[in-house]
Amino acid sequence: MARKLENHSLGFTSQILSTEKNHPDVHGAMNTPIYRSAAFEFPNSVAIAKAFQNQEEVASHTYSRITNPTVEALENKIKAISQGENVMLFSSGMAAISNTFMAICYAGCNIVTSPHLFGNTFALFQFTLASFGVEVRFVNTDHLDEIEAAIDENTVAFFCEVMTNPHLEIADLTQIKPMLARHNVPLIVDTTVIPWGAFEAFRWGVDIEVVSTTKYVSGGATSLGGAIVDYGTFDWSHNKRLAQVSNTAQFSPFMFKIKREIARNFGACMDPDSAYAQILGLETLQLRYERMSASAYELAQFLESLPEVVKATYPKLESFPYKALSDQFFNGNPGAMLTFSLKSREACFALMDRLQLIRRATNLFDNRTLIIHPESTIYGTFTEEMKQVMGIDPTLIRLSVGLEEVADLKADIAQALK
Ligand SMILES: *Cc1c(COP(=O)(O)O)cnc(C)c1O
């Protein structure tokens, strides 16, 4: 599946470029072909029966809602760089997150998490899952005792984002993980804002990683996608829903449940065209990430120096409250997201309206630099009370720094602030 060198382990990008599909291409195509086919044919009835009963040596494909060769090629590459035991791709980041919780939740269970979450994840927990009898317990993840106090025998997961958006908070996983292990609670982390290579989830005890591949992986907002990476580290016999699966599963009970039941029944599969775009995106991930991170740091320093800017927040700034954790977790490259605040909401709007190069758009980690005012957009339909719970500040602006020359970005901000 992957090319190897004797006595030498391949680096991040070499692994991406050399990990292939499970079946060699008949024409020797260098790029992974787009297998845009709903179904796959078999030579005889025994072969198709074996495929349906999972009795093959190397699994073949039957129907693209279940597996597809192009999608599988991307899964293999992500498996190689994440060192996960099992990887599954979905139609979006939200599909990866919702399938994860659909697999482990039951009526009467609870999820312990921070209220500082991506908006749709917050709504999934608070509204969608709540109507099926799932309770969400919001805690301040800076306080270990508060997290521990919220856990009981029906806690199915502690969930957090590796760095929250737009608050840029980092939970100290080195403290949280041992506490969770004592209570048999899995650590599920959304690592969308710090991709593989910069944050090595397995090193910090993450059991299940969820990612919106729409962001860094897609290679410039080409397509939607989501991934679940199962590190195979959690004993699921403690979960009331998965205890039974644990006895019969041929691999991790969590991923077994997802692959053989949940994902099939919800049908939020990644399509082969998106998988193709995201394979190309993954090939340049490290290059883009390093450039974006370097530009974000330079821009954050620039913003911090401007008299109009009340506060700039970026993990490498000395003023950043979680700097030590960022240095520890993110290999010196804490990504392309930064925030800054101006004196008022009006000042934020005025700045945004005068920008010429930077785009007013939602999304993160496009090749273009994007700016958004979270309070009036992403959180615009939330009540004032919920905005308070979620800590949404009307003077805050979020930037996702792209690949433009950083001098051009500085010039655009400088002229817009005039
Ligand atoms: C964008 C995002 C998601 C959702 O991903 P989609 O691909 O848009 O469904 C989830 N979590 C975080 C942190 C995100 O930024």
Walk along the chain (418 residues) and give the pLDDT tens digit of each residue.
677 899 999 999 999 999 877 788 889 898 999 999 999 999 999 999 999 998 988 889 999 999 999 999 999 999 999 999 999 999 999 999 999 999 999 999 999 999 999 989 999 999 999 999 999 999 999 999 999 999 999 999 999 999 999 999 999 999 999 999 999 999 999 999 999 999 999 999 999 999 999 999 999 999 999 999 999 999 999 999 998 888 888 889 999 999 999 999 999 999 999 999 999 999 999 999 999 999 999 999 999 999 999 999 999 999 999 999 999 999 989 999 999 999 999 999 999 999 999 999 999 999 999 999 999 998 898 899 888 887 889 999 999 999 999 999 999 999 999 8
Q: Is the CB of 413 under 6 A from ligand 1?
A: no
Of residues 391, 102, 98, the one with CA closest to residue 261: 102
CA angle (81 as vertex; 70, 245 as ends), nearest 5: 75
Q: Is the CB of 224 under 6 A from ligand 1?
A: yes
What is the rounded (10 degree) CA torsion for 251, 257, 261, 262?
-130
- Which atom of ligand 1 lies at the shortest distance from residue 214's CA? 7
In the CATH scheme, what architecture does the domain 288-417 have?
Alpha-Beta Complex (3.90)
**CATH number listed for the domain at residues 11-274:** 3.40.640.10
Indicate the pairing of strand 337-341 with strand 187-190: unpaired
Return d(Cα 320, Cα 403) in angstroms, integer: 24
366 close to ligand 1 (CB < 6 Angstrom): no
Q: How many alpha carbons lie under 13 Å from residue 258 in its C-beta half-sphere? A: 28
Same fold flag, 11-274 and 288-417: no
- Name the amino acid, one letter, at 277: A
CB 212 near ligand 1, within 6 Å: yes
Atom from ligand 1 closest to the CA of residue 224: 7
Element (H, E) at 110: strand 110-113
Show me where the domains of the chain are located: 11-274, 288-417
Q: Which of 328, 337, 325 is nearest to 170 (CA)?
A: 325
In this prediction, residue 370 carries a pLDDT of 97
Q: Is 192 in the pocket of ligand 1 (CB under 6 A)?
A: yes
Which one of 98, 116, 121, 192 would you pick to mutate in the ligand 1 pocket, going by the greatest count of ligand atoms within 8 A of its CB? 192
Residue 258 token pair: 């997802």
Q: ∠34-39-45 over CA atoms, to 5°?
A: 135
The response to whether residue 375 sits with its C-beta less than 6 Å from ligand 1 reads no
- CB 159 less than 6 A from any atom of ligand 1: no
